[in-house]
Structure 1
């Protein structure tokens, strides 16, 4: 015969809620970064045509629905990768203001740091891929080119402004606030653009990287001489 205690009703198990759909906000950024990193890897290995969302999902350890919830199609994903890895990286670049006995030494140090950072192998490979797809992505190509120029000019303005604050150059017309944007563009066109152009067309980036310091050491004195003689306008 069952005892009264045995006949007591057992407490009901508490039901656990299981959530589906988008991850919480604190994880969403990590998922986005994982997808973009995986897409960059696959695009660089396969090209735009050879890449597939299936392979990107596998590399990202993510489901295809998760990718399509964020990016309309492969073209949209490619656009996001190019925008993040070229434009966002320029905007995020930080360089400590170098110390040096002269403005020339400080400028050489800063410019060398910028070029060694900018001519990174994967970044150049992605730029090459974006250029190769320019006919199919004309809006992307023009937007990236224009925005990259604007962002790099802002970076140059910030760099030159910080480097010349406590130097005799701050009194020169080339470094006046209203002229600094033009001066920064001249600085980048003289020092950064030639090396970037070579990087896009030369396969051996290690050889090019070894030439950066000598190129900067030749170019910075020329730039400063032009500024001192009123040649930047």
Structure 2
């Protein structure tokens, strides 16, 4: 995502004394430098610590000091990877978005198109109504409020990213199953907007009803793909004129 200019920064400047302040330095002195695998995992570990801070303390109380304590590292290690709060929260939003997408995309692999998308629709409803899903919504709103401007909207960027991925997935599954999909971008848009619209109209959910989610997902998927077939937007090659 293009990063708008922002003066919002963590209130405390980064420490430059790595030997004194960085928890990794003490560990390195005892057992040598972190392995390549540990170094590669560190950014995700820092971001997950940031997620825990937001969950436990809220957005207004988010600081790099708290993130460092949760991750058991020095604050200088965070600043070596993220210039400030905006860069950190953007990276956290991207990290959680990709993590959620990969979990959902694994569902229904190898099943017929409608069945795989039915499973994913139920999963999306579950995620959107979960405490983590609600926190993601707050994170998007926070980024838009704090860092967005007339040219940058994080929610719109997430929508476009989701639309692109669903379009690609529709194309891939249709190709694997020897189906012709006339307008995959339009189909992806209708699919996504139906899911998001349903979740928003349902409003806050106290306790997730998995069975109700699955019933709705099945009905929605059957209706959606029946409409595609009826309109001629999805056909088997042998059925084409």
**TM-score > 0.5 by shorter chain:** yes
Which position in structure 2 is the counterpart of 1:60?
A: 71
Q: CA deviation at 1:120?
A: 4.5
Cα pair 2:82 2:88 within 8 Å, conserved:
yes
- Residue deviations 1:131-186 (CA, integer Å, cap 9, x gap): 14532221599443233223322332243334444768x34xxx12xx11111211
Which position in structure 2 is the counterpart of 1:99?
A: 111
Given the two structures, how large is their TM-score scaled by the length of structure 2? 0.67
Cα pair 2:114 2:222 within 8 Å, conserved:
yes
Partner Cα distance (1:96, 1:221) in 2: 15
RMSD of aligned Cα (Å) = 3.5
Q: CA deviation at 1:50?
A: 0.9
Q: Is the partner of 2:144 in helix, strand or coil?
A: coil
Which position in structure 2 is the counterpart of 1:185?
A: 189
What is the correspondence of 1:82-121 to structure 2 with a 5 Å cutoff? 82-87=93-98, 89-90=100-101, 93-99=105-111, 104-116=114-126, 119-121=129-131
- Residue deviations 1:101-127 (CA, integer Å, cap 9, x gap): xx6445423433454456543133122
- Residue deviations 1:202-230 (CA, integer Å, cap 9, x gap): 152524x4431122122123212321232
Q: 1:84 to 1:138 in 2, by over 3 A?
A: same
1:211 has 2:212 as partner: yes
Partner Cα distance (1:83, 1:141) in 2: 19
Partner Cα distance (2:130, 2:168) in 1: 22
Q: Is the partner of 2:208 in helix, strand or coil?
A: helix
- Residue deviations 1:20-42 (CA, integer Å, cap 9, x gap): xx856433222212211111110
| Number of corresponding residues | 204
Cα pair 1:134 1:141 within 8 Å, conserved:
no
Q: Larger relative CO (CA 8 A, sep 6+): 1 or 2?
A: 2
Q: Is the partner of 1:206 in helix, strand or coil?
A: coil
Match of 1:26 among 37, 42, 49: 37
Between Structure 1 and Structure 2, whose CA radius of gyration is higher? 1
Q: Is the partner of 1:125 in helix, strand or coil?
A: helix
Match of 1:37 among 48, 65, 71: 48
Give unpaired runs (5+ residues) of structure 1: 1-17
Match of 1:136 among 146, 149, 155: 146
Given the two structures, how large is their TM-score scaled by the length of structure 1? 0.69
1:197 has 2:200 as partner: yes
Match of 2:137 among 127, 134, 140: 127
Match of 1:160 among 159, 170, 177: 170
Q: Is the partner of 2:106 in helix, strand or coil?
A: coil
Give unpaired runs (5+ residues) of structure 2: 1-28, 234-241
